[in-house]
Amino acid sequence: MADGALRGDVATMRTKLRFSPRLARRHPPYPAPIAPKPHKPRRSRSTIRWAPLALLIIIALLQLASIPFYAGSSLGPRASWRFEHGRITFTRNDTLNPEPFYVALNSEGLRWSFEARRYSATHWFMTVPLWFPFLLTAAWAWRYRRRRGASNACASCGYPLAGLTPGSSCPECGSSSARGVP
């Protein structure tokens, strides 16, 4: 009888603990609902493929536009930019010198070098030629194309070759340089 009483007491204690309001707040008897993860829109492959080309075209057009014109403006009370000679210059001044946006004719040719000077901690300028971002963007586009070609895809058309025997031709374009996966 002592065993039964003990069992009953333990069972009673368990039910009291299980349904105590204090424990129910900490550990609900049902699984807590899991919030769905926010949906991240995937970037389209065509957007990723054509973004470097669009950026290359914009940089080339800026390079051509800087031959007959130069432009500039303030970025704030002490900072400004200037676009001329195929280069863009960012300047930080000690004095307040706000400038409105301006465009004027350029009489000089292109300049190809970097230039930077620091006069003090708050007075400096930096000039970057446009061939540098053009080169970085071209390298990005080339790397993307190489990565795409190194994957399991046809070297000519990009058709996925999963499941084909190695060395077989591409079913899409018939190219014999298609890479197969073992």
Beta-bridge partners for 117: 125
Q: Contact 181/164 with Cβ under 8 angstroms? A: yes
pTM: 0.50
**What is the pLDDT, as a whole number, of residue 109?**
81
Q: Which two tokens stand for residue 152?
A: 């399991």
**What is the pLDDT, as a whole number, of residue 178?**
44
Q: Which amino acid appears at position 79 of this protein?
A: A
**What is the pLDDT, as a whole number, of residue 92?**
92
**What is the pLDDT, as a whole number, of residue 45?**
61
What are the strands of the beta sheet with 102-105, ordered from one edge?
102-105, 69-74, 79-84, 87-92, 123-129, 115-120
Angstrom distance (rounded) from CA 25 to CA 81? 59
Run of H or E including 3: helix 2-18
**What is the pLDDT, as a whole number, of residue 151?**
60
Q: What are the boundaries of each domain within the chain?
A: 67-129, 151-182
Q: Rounded to 10 degrees, what is the CA torsion of 93, 97, 103, 108?
A: -40
Residues of the chain with pLDDT under 70: 1-48, 144-151, 177-182
